[in-house]
Amino acid sequence: MEIVLQPVLTDLDNNTLNNLGNDISTEFENTRVTVSSATNNSNLMQLKKDITFQSSFDKHRNQWYSPKLLVWFFEKFRPNKDTKILFILDADAYSDGLNYVLGEAYPKGGLGIIYLPRIKQEFYGLKPDNKLFFERMVKESVHELGHVFGFSHCKNLQCVMHFSNTLKDTDNKMRCFCGTCRMKKIIF
């Protein structure tokens, strides 16, 4: 089994992405985590020209519509049953019934997305905190990959699979599965 971290529309450096991959791998036993190269300028130009991709952006909200992006990524990448993909976007997004999402999964498609802006302190007018940003990124990544692997939300407030209604919820939970979720070992 393999998890591929695919940065898109982000300027995260390779060191940060490799550290993220290492931290994710501790939660998904017997699963290799690799980092794909960030989209280069030619790929970015293709994204800007892709009508379906661009139609996922809501100009009135100034946000991306996450469900449409998930379908678009699935159609473009088509992960196989042994590969799961986590897209990392530095873009704000929303979903059905939610003003914003920190991430979202498409379990039947084997992929998920995390959105970086709202896990950064500077989004709220605060001083950047790289350590806190990285911790939130790990938690959101493990959470969305948990969904990709078939986990549902957990009632345990400390579990990484607990639904984060606010960023404080994310900060208060662990970066790992609780004992109950760990025992499920759904796929990996």
Distance between CA atoms of residues 163 and 102, nearest Å: 11
Distance from C-alpha of 180 to C-alpha of 53, rounded to nearest angstrom: 38
Q: Is 144 a catalytic residue?
A: yes
Catalytic residue (one of 27, 104, 140, 144):
144
Question: How far is the CA of 92 from the CAs of 87, 115, 123, 179, in angstroms?
Answer: 13, 6, 10, 32
- Residue 85, strand partner residues: 4, 111
Q: Is 97 left (phi over 0), alpha (psi -120 to 50) or beta?
A: left
Alpha-carbon distances, residue 37 vs 33, 57, 134 (angstroms) = 13, 24, 19
Active-site amino acid positions: 144
